[in-house]
A and B are shown apart, each in its own frame.
Chain A
């Protein structure tokens, strides 16, 4: 427990070691630590940015999807409308054709019926004349009785 020159020697050694540490140990380690800290900070910032980018892209994708769906719906609606219109038109056309055909057929039928009626009327007149000839047993001059026959025909 004596005091001696060791004290001052230790004093000097203290400063030499401290100087050495200050010069060669502290700065490189602190530099590495700071650099790593900034690297980590950069990495975290990049991760954050990526996250926002992702969210943005997701929103954009959703938007696009919604838009596509809307336009598809619109397209389908248009197509359906057009289809319905075409169908309606076709139906109307068909109805028109059917109606025209029916009218034509009816007209034809009427004409045929008329013609048949007239033919019948002619034949009925002839039959009636023949019947009357038989009844009267006497020759009727068709020329002389033409007016009578025509009158009879008109009555039928």
Chain B
């Protein structure tokens, strides 16, 4: 910490939870604000993901694959199989399957930023005058909701494309309870709730997991920071090593799982858009 006085725990945490923004956000919702750190890391990791995959794709051979190609192929095949099982339109899969692959690898990389020491990049940033930095883009609600919103838009697109605008409208008013004029408002309300719930839970699930994980890493880091030569502080330092190790190992599972879940839900939601009730 490059501050003059040592911060207390709540100052440390709230500082770490502060984003690098263009202007200070005053209200809960302010569309003029943008999180520069989230954008930087998500774009950088996204580009890393697609360029690494593009490299594998460019050198892809139908002969004996190297290890790198085989690794990329394993992921592509995994996603392709999942997409085939969930989205039954081969035409849609041409776009949906690459989307799922992108989402999986991109989110995995963004989640993996959690495994870097919580203070490393922010401290380096502070050296060059960047005083706020959050390095896990998926622990930013905006990023997670932005992606789930993109999935929602794809759902709406495929709903209209597959069923036609009229067919979709018909479904909005007649499903899930049935085709009766008294049921129209209830059906419509249910459908709207369903779309909102899907999208919000989709984004929130990822955000919540990563945010909580990040917070716990901060609390673990606080234990280590409490070491000041005292006996109790020494124990906390050992606690930091122990808890940090355990949580990081556990987090390997979480980041992979959350990326996988986000990908699967993307496929499931788009698959639902293809099915008529």
Contact = CB atoms under 8 A, between A and B. Distances in A.
Interface residues of B, number: 55
A5 to B, nearest CB: 4
Contacts of A14: 102-103, 146-147, 150
A6 B54 contact: no
A9 B73 contact: no
Contacts of A22: 94-95, 98-99
Interface string A1-14: 11111111111011
B115 interface: no
Interface in B22-51: 25, 27-35, 38-39, 42-43, 46-47, 49-50
A18 B95 contact: yes
A3 B58 CA distance: 39
Contact of A1 (B95, B103, B141): B141
A29 B56 contact: yes
B80 interface: yes
B54 A17 contact: no
B97 interface: yes
Contacts of A25: 50, 53-54, 56-57, 98, 101
B9 to A, nearest CB: 19
Nearest to B46: A17
A92 interface: no
B214 interface: no
B61 interface: yes
Interface residues of A, number: 33
A22 B72 CA distance: 15
B149 A17 contact: no
B25 A4 contact: yes
Interface in B103-159: 103, 106, 137, 140-143, 145-147, 149-150, 153
Interface in A76-126: none
A34 B39 CA distance: 36
What does DSSP make chain B's interface, helix, strand, loop or mixed?
helix
A33 B74 CA distance: 10
A32 interface: yes
Given A4-B25, A17-B106, A25-B101, A11 B149 contact: yes
A131 interface: no
Contacts of B49: 17
A75 B197 CA distance: 94
B218 to A, nearest CB: 15
B38 A6 contact: yes
B14 interface: no
A127 B139 CA distance: 167
A91 B73 CA distance: 90
Given A32-B60, A32-B61, A39-B62, A10 B54 contact: no
B180 to A, nearest CB: 37
B95 A7 contact: no
B77 interface: yes
A6 B57 contact: no
B248 interface: no
B38 to A, nearest CB: 5
Contact of B146 (A1, A7, A24, A32): A7
Interface in A1-53: 1-11, 13-15, 17-18, 20-22, 24-36, 39
A6 to B, nearest CB: 4
B63 A36 contact: yes
A7 B72 CA distance: 29
A20 B50 contact: yes
Nearest 4 interchain pairs by C-beta: A10-B146, A35-B62, A6-B142, A32-B60
